[in-house]
Amino acid sequence: MDRELALELVRVTEAAAVSSAQWMGRGQKDEADDAATTAMRTMFDSIAMEGTVVIGEGELDEAPMLYIGEKLGNGNGPEVDIAVDPLEGTNIVAKGHNNAMSVIAAADRGALLHAPDMYMQKVAVGKQARGQIRLDDPIEKTIETVAKANNKRINDLTVIVQERPRHNELVERIRAKGARVKLFGDGDVEASIATCLPHTGIDLFVGTGGAPEGVISAAAVKCLGGDMQARLVPQNEEEAQRCSDMGLNDPRQLLTHHDLVSSDDALFAATGVTEGELLHGVKFLGGDLAETDSIVMRAKTGTIRFIKANHHLDNKPHLLKND
Ligand code: VTB
Ligand code: MG
Ligand code: MG
């Protein structure tokens, strides 16, 4: 992959973030999502690549754009697989909460798991615990392993879990083991990434969330040197069939980090939409100025860039919400 591609991708997440941030706090999650998706789709056209959407907004018949299989880019560049979530956290934006982002992952053709839109059980950790976690270990054992790897007392260990009834028992067990639990409402890509950034204080991410988000997270975690394992959790026969259709013989097989992202080279770009721990949200500074905060990373080199940008929206009228 071209290294320039990383910086091109961040222009795409910036556009999606600026568009959807204008919907913050309006209680209209679908409109916020549509704004992000439209802006993202338009920006992709200008990129020098031969991209194929492998994780997108749905199947051809259910999504007007960024559907699975859609070709992206101007065709003059590397052949890459693209995974997108134009707005990771539609509810977050609708309510004006924290940690909504626009995200893209890219890897060599064939290197990203083609995950159907269903639930996925996941575990993620940072660099120090890499190679030591097993999704099938009891949570108590995982906590011990990560505490040792991160050189922390179990009492000081922080586990991040999405606040959902399906995680009640898990949360009780983490607490009983003596670790601290940080519950979050939405956005498990951000939560997975947090395990790889020591300043967040988060050591371990566990729980069941979206499979598309799982693959995108796996690319980010790879760039940051961390580790991840997962398993699809089909809820019925039809979902199990979709797994087989996508090439997984056993839909419930353990997915290693390598199964999720099989290339050593992966790119990840994200721009904050609302304020967050990883990224600031889009700030409208007055006049036509909007400021964005983004992260862009590449697994091959391990380079992480934080990019702050000021956008003159008078020059980008297509990103403006119509009143
Ligand atoms: C998950 C999670 C996402 O939505 O898909 C979640 O991976 C949906 O979970 O990050 P529920 O079905 O329990 O609501 C997000 O939090 C946001 O897209
Ligand atoms: Mg989405
Ligand atoms: Mg999402």
Q: Which ligand is nearest to the CA of 99?
A: 1
Distance CA 44, CA 9 (A): 8
Domain ranges across the chain:
4-110+266-319, 119-260
The finding on whether 209 has its CB within 6 A of some atom of ligand 1 is yes
Q: Identify which of 27, 102, 37 has the alpha carbon closest to the alpha carbon of residue 72.
A: 37
What atom in ligand 1 is closest to the CA of residue 212? 7
163 contacts 185 by C-beta, under 8 angstroms: yes
DSSP 11-77: HHHHHHHHHHHTTTTSS-HHHHHHHHHHHHHHHHTTSSSEEEEEESSS-TTT-SSS-TT-EES-SSS
Regarding an ipTM greater than 0.90, the answer is: yes
The whole-number pLDDT of residue 3 equals 79
Query: Do 4-110+266-319 and 119-260 share a fold?
Result: no
Other C-beta atoms closer than 10 Å to the C-beta of 44 total: 26
Q: How far is CA 1 from CA 4, 110, 258, 301, 312, in A?
A: 9, 13, 18, 12, 30
Ligand 1 centroid from CA 315, angstroms? 34
What atom in ligand 1 is closest to the CA of residue 190? 10
The whole-number pLDDT of residue 60 equals 79
- Condensed to tens digits (0 to 9), the pLDDT of residues 249-277 reads 899 999 999 999 999 899 999 999 999 99
Q: What is the CATH number of domain 4-110+266-319?
A: 3.30.540.10
Instruction: Kindly give the parts of the chain with pLDDT less than 70.
Output: none
The whole-number pLDDT of residue 247 equals 84
The finding on whether 89 has its CB within 6 A of some atom of ligand 1 is yes
Ligand 2 centroid from CA 88, angstroms? 6
The finding on whether 190 has its CB within 6 A of some atom of ligand 1 is no
Ligand 1 centroid from CA 187, angstroms? 6
The whole-number pLDDT of residue 199 equals 92
The whole-number pLDDT of residue 226 equals 98
The whole-number pLDDT of residue 50 equals 96
Ligand 1 centroid from CA 209, angstroms? 5
The yes or no reply on domain 119-260 and CATH 3.40.190.90 is yes
**Arithmetic mean of pLDDT over the chain:** 96
